[in-house]
């Protein structure tokens, strides 16, 4: 009896030891790095979806070593606090607009000037090439992954605007730089967020708004305007950053950093195309409602360009006072717009 019990104990001991040995030979699961990504766009917006697809692609190529939680709608950090949120580590990655903290990124403001952007892909390519060429010190407290920018801000009004004379004194919803554009063109800027614009136009508080074509469908503003003036000759854009906390970036191994770099490079055109697709949807939506799109004559294009040029000159002067290469920045940006306009007609 004792021999039998001893045999059982020996068998059990050997079995346990064998199982432990097999278990120890199994490769341990790779460590997973979890990151948060603060995005100011609402979850349904095409740019939030582009951010989601970027995050999924990085997770896929890293074979699950990276997990990115996208927090859209500004739920982690509000749009105007997103950049500081990344720099301070409140979020690991963030997407928002440089213009939401005007004065914080002086040299980069050249990207938003009314230099005649024809579409979103051009604006996005220009923004990324500009960053690579100048590497503004104002962005040194984060790791810049990439930049994207919307198509030209156009004039959307109730009454048709075919000339500067038609716009003179007209109240137009506009904020930040676009308010300066409206003033330079002879209109009267009225500051308000996009969420209030529909009702303001409907009630006659303002006679129109300025922004990319996508607002006509995305914000339903096509329902309350009747005309869009195709003034892309003075089209401005709004550049948007995708940046990462530098400590989080430095902690990533080189192979993972390369994945981030590769995917980010590819997603430049993903975002640019998304902006153009959204603009096209806005155009189709507005036309389906019977609204008109008014092209400017060659003479008017020249007049509109001349009217906004002081804004460019003011930028160059302001940068000079700060010891920054404003003139060179404008020249390079204009050269890049011309280059990419030929590629993305």
pLDDT tens digits, 6-40:
555 554 454 544 455 444 444 555 689 999 999 99
Share of the chain above pLDDT 90, in %: 86
Report if residue 23 sits inside a domain.
no
Residue 316 and residue 177 share a domain = yes
Choose the final residue of a domain: 226, 261, 279: 279
Contact by Cβ (8 Å): 131, 144: yes
Q: What is the pTM of this model?
A: 0.88
Higher-confidence position of 20 and 111: 111
What order of strands is seen across the sheet that includes strand 33-39? 66-71, 33-39, 93-97, 239-244, 143-149
CA distances from residue 57 to 51, 54, 60, 96, 297 in whole angstroms, order as listed: 10, 5, 5, 20, 45
**Whole domain around residue 303: which residue ranges?**
154-236+289-343
Residue 297 and residue 201 share a domain = yes
Total domains present in the chain: 2
pLDDT digits (tens, 9 = 90+) for 41-58: 999 999 999 999 999 999
CA distances from residue 165 to 44, 173, 225, 248 in whole angstroms, order as listed: 39, 18, 19, 54
Would you say how long the chain is, in residues? 345
What token pair was written down for 102?
């005007």
Contact by Cβ (8 Å): 275, 150: yes
CA–CA separation, 190 vs 208, rounded Å?
A: 10
Buried residues in 127-160 as b, exposed as e (16+ CB within 10 A): bbbbbeebebeebeebbbbbbbbbbbbbbbbbee
Looking at residue 195, what is its pLDDT? 83
Residue 317 and residue 248 share a domain = no
Report if residue 14 sits inside a domain.
no
């Amino acid at each position: 009896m004792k021999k039998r019990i001893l045999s059982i104990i020996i068998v059990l001991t050997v079995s346990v030891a064998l199982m432990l040995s097999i278990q120890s030979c199994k490769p341990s699961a790779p460590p997973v790095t979890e990151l948060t990504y603060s995005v100011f766009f609402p979850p349904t917006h095409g740019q939030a979806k582009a951010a989601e697809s970027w995050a999924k692609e990085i997770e896929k190529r890293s074979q699950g070593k990276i997990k990115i939680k996208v927090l859209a709608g500004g739920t982690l950090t509000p749009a105007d606090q997103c950049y500081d949120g990344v720099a301070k580590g409140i979020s690991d990655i963030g997407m928002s607009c440089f213009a939401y903290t005007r004065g914080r990124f002086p040299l980069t403001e050249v990207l938003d000037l009314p230099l005649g952007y024809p579409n979103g892909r051009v604006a996005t390519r220009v923004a990324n090439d500009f960053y690579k060429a100048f590497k503004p010190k104002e962005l040194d407290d984060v790791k810049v992954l990439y930049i994207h920018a919307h198509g030209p801000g156009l004039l959307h009004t109730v009454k048709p605007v075919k000339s500067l004379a038609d716009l003179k004194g007209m109240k137009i919803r506009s904020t930040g730089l676009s308010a300066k554009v409206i003033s330079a063109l002879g209109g009267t800027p009225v500051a308000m967020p996009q969420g209030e614009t529909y009702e303001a136009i409907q009630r006659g508080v303002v006679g129109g708004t300025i922004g990319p074509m996508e607002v006509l469908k995305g914000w339903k503003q096509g329902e309350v305007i009747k005309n869009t003036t195709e003034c892309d000759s003075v089209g401005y854009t709004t550049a948007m950053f995708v940046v990462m906390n530098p400590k989080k970036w430095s902690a990533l191994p080189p192979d993972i950093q390369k994945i981030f770099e590769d995917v980010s490079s590819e997603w430049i055109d993903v975002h640019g195309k998304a902006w153009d697709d959204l603009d096209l949807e806005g155009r189709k939506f507005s036309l389906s409602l019977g609204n008109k799109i008014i092209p400017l004559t060659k003479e008017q294009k020249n007049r509109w360009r001349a009217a906004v040029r002081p804004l460019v000159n003011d930028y160059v002067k302001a940068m000079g006072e700060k010891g920054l290469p404003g003139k060179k920045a404008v020249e390079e940006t204009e050269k890049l717009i011309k280059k990419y306009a030929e590629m993305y007609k």
